[in-house]
Amino acid sequence: MAKFRRIGVLTSGGDAPGMNAAVRAVVRTGLAHGIEVYAIMEGYKGLVENNMRLIKNPSEVSNIIGQSGTAIYTERCPEFATEEGMAAAIKTCRENQIDGIIAIGGDGTFRGATDIASRGIPTIGVPGTIDNDIAATDYTIGLDTACNTVVTFVDSLRATCESHARCNVVEVMGRHAGHIALRTAVATGAVAVAVAEFDFDEDEVIKNIIEKRKAGKRGFVVIVSEGIPGYAEKLTKIIEQKTGIVTRFCCPAHVQRGGIPTLEDRLTASEMGEYAVKQLLDGKSDVVICKNGGKLCTVDISRALKVDRMLKGKLTAEEEAALTPEEREYMTARCAEVRANMKALYDLVYEIR
């Protein structure tokens, strides 16, 4: 087991409910192993600017498990991506004798983690993003809370929607993946869902709304992912024009990121935080913690980022050609699995609408 005296923990990118539970787990696991833990403030910016707090006592993270947001703050730090920023970050680690880092966030956070690891400081990524857009893992911290926030939001809309016999088009987050849209469309009984991953048959949806109205249905909810930029507002106008039903656009926006973390998020974050520290102590670096089929495991960050790009159709021809047969097999199978899971939810919306 590698000898660690001090590790740092940071949260980076968009905040996600449950990040605090992960921070708490990292701090407490580290302290329990006799390791000092630095809370690096505002993500990678804290490393660049040497802004951190040494946590000496487990009580310093008491009660954050149930809080939304991130108690150690977050930033999207462009400076960190520059050579100067990276040099400053490494200097901070050396000066503060930090010999390992746990970085909680999304794909941008993992790219940063790889950069640090390649400069000799073992770094482990923990997936924290409401979007669930890390293809190597079934689950990212924050997804469940964000979805529950959307469900509560749409349940409230339903009441007024029914009273007025209207349609509501709701745009939900997920810049690069439609997981929130798909899950919440099923859970709110939406009449339709539109995500970037699958074709959307606008004419068929409108026909269905007209038929249902004729059959006596008063209120309609349509969920659209922000992964199709601008489409939710456009669709609102189209539905109103073509069905004659008063249609309103609604968007819970950043409220989706601010819910009180659900049990699922607290649990997964606690498991992943503890596991991440143990993996670091076992000598692992440059990996992301994943939870697949209910089991924790690690995946190399470069592989996790590549499988993401493959899923989004963004893998370059050179990257594709450089894949080993084993990598290709893993990545193809993983992409097929993620797509199939999403497609099952998509189909379910239309089966039971």
**Contact residues for ligand F6P (CB under 6 A)?**
14, 129-131, 173-175, 226, 257
Closer of 101 and 173 to ligand F6P (Cβ)? 173
d(CA 7, CA 31): 10
Closer of 13 and 273 to ligand F6P (Cβ)? 13
What's the min distance (Å) between Cβ of 320 and ligand F6P? Answer: 27
Helix/strand/coil for 114: helix
CB contact at 8 A, 159 and 166: no
- Cα dist from 199 to 125, 204, 208, 305, whole Å: 33, 12, 16, 25
Closer of 4 and 73 to ligand F6P (Cβ)? 73
Closer of 46 and 174 to ligand F6P (Cβ)? 174
- Cα dist from 149 to 131, 196, 257, 259, whole Å: 13, 22, 8, 6
What's the min distance (Å) between Cβ of 309 and ligand F6P? Answer: 18
Count Cα neighbours of 218 within 13 Å in the Cβ-side half-sphere.
Answer: 8
Which residue number places its CB atom closest to ligand F6P? 14
What's the one-letter identity of residue 7?
I
Task: Read off the tokens for 221.
Answer: 């909810």
Spell out the long-range contacts of 150-157 with Cβ–Cβ below 8 A and sequence spacing 24 or more: 150/180, 150/184, 150/188, 150/252, 150/256, 151/184, 151/187, 151/188, 153/250, 153/252, 153/255, 154/184, 154/188, 154/190, 154/221, 154/223, 155/188, 157/221, 157/250
Q: Report residue 294 CA to chain centroid gap.
A: 17
d(CA 94, CA 99): 8
Nearest to 198 by CA among 311, 342, 352: 342
What's the min distance (Å) between Cβ of 175 and ligand F6P? Answer: 3
Other C-beta atoms within 10 Å of 287: how many?
A: 26
What's the min distance (Å) between Cβ of 14 and ligand F6P? Answer: 2
What's the min distance (Å) between Cβ of 234 and ligand F6P? Answer: 18
Closer of 24 and 257 to ligand F6P (Cβ)? 257
d(CA 158, CA 353): 15
- Catalytic residue of the set 15, 99, 115, 131: 131
> What does residue 140 show for φ and ψ, rounded to 5 degrees?
-120, 145
Is 131 an annotated catalytic residue?
Answer: yes
What's the min distance (Å) between Cβ of 253 and ligand F6P? Answer: 8
Closer of 29 and 140 to ligand F6P (Cβ)? 140
Q: Which residues, in sequence order, are bridge partners of residue 104?
A: 11, 126
Closer of 131 and 144 to ligand F6P (Cβ)? 131
At a CB cut-off of 8 Å and minimum separation 6, what does 60 contact? 27
What's the min distance (Å) between Cβ of 104 and ligand F6P? Answer: 12
Catalytic residue numbers, as ranges: 131
